[in-house]
Structure 1
Amino acid sequence: MRKQVTNKKYKLIFQQKGVADILDALKDLSLSLYLARSDIRQRYRRSTLGPFWITISTGVMIGCIGGIFGGLFKSPMFEFLPFLASGLIIWNFIASTIMEATTTFVGAEPIIKQLPLPLFLHCLRMVARNFYIFLHNLLIFPLVLIFVQRPLDLSSLLFLPGLTILIINLLWISLLIGIVCARFRDLAQIVASLLQIFFYVTPIIWMPNLLPARTSVMILDPNPAYHLLEIVRAPLLGHIPSLTNWIVSITIAFVGWAISIFVFNKFRGRIAYWL
């Protein structure tokens, strides 16, 4: 009896329109990746360097900020420049994904109204597009390591599971923000303002060891952006993320996906009418 009840519950979950939409989009993951690459080719059409223009501008920004803030904070370039480079590259991936999530469904209005494609496919497409740009920008990091003569070690392999958890979180954030901003267009400005606040309260251009112990607990521990950033950045710098970083990041993923699926199940049918 218990097995029958459990099986019925699972069937009800997978029969919900939101969950079915997500599963259909994941089955056609290759389509999302293809569309993401097409977006990048179209954006940089007739450009010689293509998306590497973003890589160059990011590299110039890292060099300028590193030279100025490294001197202000009196931090050795051996430590500060790799910290700054990895932090900015990862943050640009997070911020650009979240910002573009505000127009995920709005920008895909013609496709949504004309083709019977899963709605979550547009979130996958947008996250994949920003991930490809992130990989281009990531080429800067080994150049920085060579410049400061700093090697990588085996702990750097933890970068991969950290990046996977980050992408899982960005997917539910993109879905939830996309739904809400399709209904309330003005929220895009609020999201942009919040991203600016998180940029300054998250150790990206300043190192966490500059904060007093009490202030660090108040600012870093409740900051979800810090934990998501740290599980990717710490391995690149030769450190192991703390257990708190992993627990908070994984908990955010579970709670966030539960909320997003609930909202998507409830409002999926209305998104096309909001556009």
Structure 2
Amino acid sequence: MTAVPATSSRTWRSAIRDLSDGWRQRQLWSHLGWQDIRQRYRRSVLGPIWISISMAVTAIALGVLYSGLFDLELALLLPHVLVGFIAWNFISGCISEGSEVFIANEGLIKHLPAPLSVHVYRLVWRQLLFFVHNLLVYLVMLVVFPQDLHWTAVAAIPALVLLALNGAWVALALGVITTRFRDILPITQSVVQLMFFLTPIVWVYDDLVNSPNPAIADRARLAEFNPFLHFIEIIRRPLLGQDQVLRHWVVVLAITVVGWALTMVVLRRYRSRVSYWV
């Protein structure tokens, strides 16, 4: 019997095959993702609706608070905060849960012969289901605070696709690295919490940039170096009927290409070691 070379699992073909084989098993990971939500809210009267309720209560509380602090109309700030929260929950969920995606699925990885990407697809699918649930809050918001929506609102669809693509490579790369270096997990969670306050979710970026105080305007422009700003804006602007800004899409597309290129390198070199590291 001919031995399989040790390097056979560390090729570009193996890395690509892992992604493609995992995608073909979408019946498996889509079912598991839905079961994750059902298990989390089992025996609950409202079930997954609690996803939307908890998010809405937090967003409304912060919207009321910051509208008073910044002396802004609640009708203007609250939709900004609500949509920002919906997008941020998806992004932060992919990062936080992605950093432990393989650790959390240790039993399946050791006993179920499946591509690693199955667990990543399951995570992203679960976050997409959360996103859809939270859109209920958005629809209620449109009734209470009508927005001037037009045909450009469909830009939210490709924006969500880009968020999902980036969520997949982040979860895949972080998941592999964290299985080897467990200290990455608490660091990632701390960074996510910090970035929430540095990203214009509960504060309005345009208002600070156009502030009559030059010092405030200059400091606000530093947010351009925050990649989360661009991800939030490409989906929030169309959902609020605002004009699109080209630079946000350019930055997101560049991050998507570079991120997947680096992730493929990580997947090629270390995919076969994950089952030993977990």
Q: What TM-score, normalized to structure 2?
A: 0.90
| Correspondences of 1:123-202 after superposition (within 5 Å) | 123-202=120-199
Shift of 1:211: 2.0
Aligned Cα RMSD in Å?
1.5
Q: Residue 241 of structure 1: SS of its match in structure 2?
A: coil
Whether contact under 8 Å (2:81, 2:202) holds in the other structure is yes
2:276 paired residue number: 273
- Distance between the aligned counterparts of 2:254 and 2:146, measured in 1? 37
Count of residues in correspondence between the two structures: 262
* 1:237 maps to which of 237, 240, 246: 240
CA separation of 1:234/1:24 partners in 2, compared to 1, >3 Å: closer, same or farther? Answer: same
- Distance between the aligned counterparts of 1:274 and 1:46, measured in 2? 35
| Correspondences of 1:181-260 after superposition (within 5 Å) | 181-212=178-209, 213-219=217-223, 221-260=224-263
Give the letter aligned to residue 58 of structure 1.
M
| Correspondences of 1:68-147 after superposition (within 5 Å) | 68-147=65-144
1:25 paired residue number: 22
Shift of 1:181: 0.7
- Distance between the aligned counterparts of 1:43 and 1:24, measured in 2? 28
- Distance between the aligned counterparts of 1:136 and 1:214, measured in 2? 37
Whether contact under 8 Å (1:94, 1:170) holds in the other structure is yes
Give the letter aligned to residue 195 of structure 1.
V
Shift of 1:52: 1.1
Q: Which one is further off, 181-190 or 57-66?
A: 57-66
Question: What runs of 5+ residues in structure 2 fail to find an aligned partner?
Answer: 1-9, 210-216
1:8 paired residue number: none
* 1:62 maps to which of 59, 63, 68: 59
Q: Residue 182 of structure 2: SS of its match in structure 1?
A: coil
Shift of 1:127: 1.0
Shift of 1:203: 0.3
| Correspondences of 1:31-70 after superposition (within 5 Å) | 31-70=28-67
Shift of 1:14: 8.2
- Distance between the aligned counterparts of 1:15 and 1:226, measured in 2? 33
Question: What runs of 5+ residues in structure 1 fail to find an aligned partner?
Answer: 1-12
Instruction: Kindly provide the CA deviation profile for residues 105-148 of structure 1, in whole angstroms up to 9, marking residues without a partner as x.
Output: 01111111111111111000011111101110111012112112
Give the letter aligned to residue 47 of structure 2.
G
Q: Residue 187 of structure 2: SS of its match in structure 1?
A: helix
Give the letter aligned to residue 276 of structure 2.
Y
- Distance between the aligned counterparts of 2:87 and 2:124, measured in 1? 13
Q: Which one is further off, 146-155 or 246-255?
A: 146-155
Whether contact under 8 Å (1:77, 1:148) holds in the other structure is no
Give the letter aligned to residue 266 of structure 1.
R
Q: What TM-score, normalized to structure 1?
A: 0.91
1:3 paired residue number: none
